[in-house]
Amino acid sequence: MNQPKNLTFETRFGNIAALQWGAGNSNKVLALHGWLDNAASFWHLAPLLAQHDIEITAIDFPGHGHSDHRAAGHTYGFIDYVTDVQAVIKQSDQPVSLLCHSMGAAIAVMYAAAFPEQINKMVLIENLGPIPPYQPGKAVSSLRKALKLWDKHSLVHKRFYATIEQAIEARQVATPMDADIIRPMVERGLCETPQGYHWRTDKRLKLDSLIRLSEENIQEYLAANQVPTQLIIGEPKTYALDFPMFSHRLDALNPEQFKQISGDHHLHMTQAEPVASLIINFYQE
C-alpha cells in the first residue's frame, strides 16, 4: 500500500508524471502539491487514505518532480497550472475529488469555480488563494522587476550535492521536518549527474510572475465555489496564511468544514495521521 504506482498523463503541453496509491479504489481523488514540492509530498498521507477505499493520484506539476518542463522561452504563469489540471481531469471518466496543498489549493479553487460539475469534494490544506495578490499602485514596478529577472535568468545548474543526505539537509533549512518524512519528496526532486545531484525543478519557477491576480479576482473565485469544501490549516497560523485579507477570503469561500490542527505549513506530511482522519470523515459524509 505504501509503494505507489507510477503514471504519466500525456497532454498538449507535455507529459505530466504522477504517483497513485490505492489503484482501483472507488473514490477517485486528484492530489495537487505546493510550489517547489512534488507528488511525493503526499507519500505519508495517501496510504492512510487508500485504506478507506480512496484512490489518490498525485501529479507533479510541470517543472516539478518527473513532469516535463515548460518549453524553452516560456514562463510559469500561475493561471497556466489551471489548464494543466484541466488536461488531467479530462482523462478521467468520472468526477473526482481534489486534495490540495498550498499552491495546489489555490489552483484547485480556480478550476472548481469554473467546472464545479467535475468535482465531487475539495480539501484545501494551508491555502486560500494566490499569495501575494496584485498590490494597487505597484503594477508597473512589479512588471519591471519581473522582466529584469527574466532577462538574466539561466537554466544552468550551479549547485550540486555529493549525496542525497546533503540535499535533504539543504531542503530542511527551507522546510524543517524530520529527514525520514521529507526524504521521499527530496528523492523525487533530485537528478543524478556525474557532478552530483541537482534539483529537477525548473529554475524558472523561482522567477517573479509577470502579472498577478487582484484581491478582487481571487475573492470572486472563492465566492463562486459550489463544491463541498474542507479547509485545514495549521495552528498557530503559519506564514502562508498570516496576511491581512485571510478573514475576508475565508468569508468568501465559506467552507463546509474549517479545521485547525497543531502543525506547520506542511502539516499533511508532519501530521499525516490527524490530517488523514479529518479528510476521511469529510469524504465519507
Residue of 67, 102, 141, 247 with catalytic role: 102
Distances (CA, A) of 81 to 61, 76, 102, 279, 282: 7, 8, 13, 24, 26
Q: Which three cell numbers stand for residue 226?
A: 459550489
CA geometry: angle at 65 spanning 280 and 60, to 5°? 45
**Strand arrangement of the beta sheet that strand 5-11 belongs to:** 5-11, 14-21, 54-59, 27-32, 96-101, 119-125, 229-235, 257-262
For the question of residue 102 being annotated catalytic, the response is: yes
Query: Residue 95 burial by CB count (10 A; 0-12/13-18/19+): exposed, middle or buried?
Result: middle
Interatomic CA distance for residues 30 and 28, integer angstroms: 7
The conformational region for residue 31 under phi > 0 = left, psi -120 to 50 = alpha, else beta, is beta
Give the torsion through C-alpha atoms of 191, 197, 202, 207, to 10 deg.
170
Question: Mind telling me the catalytic residues?
Answer: 102
